[in-house]
Amino acid sequence: MNTKVLLALGLTASVLYSCKKNDKETTPVDQGKPLSAFSHLPKYPNKVIYLTSGSDFLKDLKNADKESASIIGSETLPGGTRWIVETREQVVLPDFEEIIYPGSIIKGSSVPGGTFDPVVGYDRKPITVGLSLVGKNVTGTIAWPAWTSTIDFVNNALLSGVSGKQLASFSFDMQQITNYNEMKLTFGANVSVGSVFSVGINGTSMKIKKKFGLTAKFIQKNFTLNMDIPRDGQLINGTIDPALIGQWSPVYVNSITYGRMGVVLIESDDNYEELSLAFKAAFNIGVVKGDVGVTLDQKAIINRASIKIFLVGGQGETGVKTINGYDEFKEHILKGGEFSANDPGVPLFFRLRYLSDHTLYKTNFNVDVVN
């Protein structure tokens, strides 16, 4: 997956453009109660993902991105606390890139396990989408929702709505970890962290190898592509063989964020507070576009740390990279700070809605924190 994929010309999409400011994503509330031919289908029982953490989990999550994850409750356990967390966004992994487009219908039973089986063999209805840029939205219709027609829409929308290079917004959040599986929260889904980062494989422990661990996610957000809830609640034109759907309500892709992103795994034997401060200063490079706030001692701490980054987007960068020291880390943070119609970024994460009632799909975690 790389940026040139987004420049390819696929199926011709019938696209109607208009510009309007301060447009909001349409929700089921905005349009009353959309009808759905699948309202009788139950939702697949949401699988709860259980994690154990020895870190200051609550403090870190409270400071994280509230749009993608939130604490919705807690329970007192012998010797600790169980925090109940829900996430609303999932990272686009390379294996599933071609099925992540607005209006893509996915079997509901396949999402909790992370297989994302697409529903195929049906006549697709047109959808209305909006691409959010600074100061305005570019809206239009995609006549046949598909991966290639989405590429066409994005390219043409940026050509009509972007003049020259635009600055991407930069944000990051960090959490302490004691176990690699805690990074599932960073991905927002039941991702095989061991396979992504090649850790804890061949039956070895998922406990971090050094004294302290951090996980972080930095995002250079270019724009978001949102899909309106269909006025009649339908994405399928006509009837469909029930066997293609299954017994559970399907879900569909409703929103996609484009840009560049890195999920970072950091391990170190240095003091945790100093380690955390050093990497916060280093991530701020992406905000201020310079490293004047990083001290020599902090650079030394970063040089001693073990760093791996799972990158999505950029010039052929997708995949896991081992970072050797501060200078290389700085280089990766500063890359991709701008976007244009010719370099729009790639899909980073997405949201799903149920086809039965158009409510958001959420992933549930129970995180047990030992006192």
- Summarised one tens digit per residue, pLDDT across range 166-213 is 767 888 889 899 999 989 888 888 888 888 898 865 556 789 999 999
Read off the pLDDT band of 46 (50, 70, 90): confident
What is the C-alpha separation between 358 and 319, in angstroms, rounded?
A: 33
- pLDDT in the model for residue 308: 96
Q: Which of 188, 175, 180 is nearest to 214 (CA)?
A: 175
Residues of the chain with pLDDT > 90: what percent? 45
Cα-based angle 143, 149, 153 (whole degrees, multiple of 5): 90
**CATH 3.90.840.10 is held by the domain 3-370:** yes
Read off the pLDDT band of 29 (50, 70, 90): very low
Q: Which of 352, 365, 363, 360 is nearest to 118 (CA)?
A: 352
Average pLDDT over residues 245-259: 94
- pLDDT in the model for residue 36: 62
Q: Which helix (H) or strand (E) holds 363?
A: strand 363-370
> Considering the entire predicted model, what is its pTM?
0.80
Q: Domain spans of the chain?
A: 3-370
Q: Give the type of residue at 106.
A: I
pLDDT over 70 at 3, yes or no:
no
Average per-residue pLDDT for the chain: 83
- pLDDT in the model for residue 57: 57
Read off the pLDDT band of 13 (50, 70, 90): very low
pLDDT over 80 at 92, yes or no:
yes
- pLDDT in the model for residue 24: 39
Q: Tens digit of pLDDT for each residue in 307-363?
A: 999 988 766 567 899 999 999 999 888 887 778 888 888 899 999 999 999 999 999
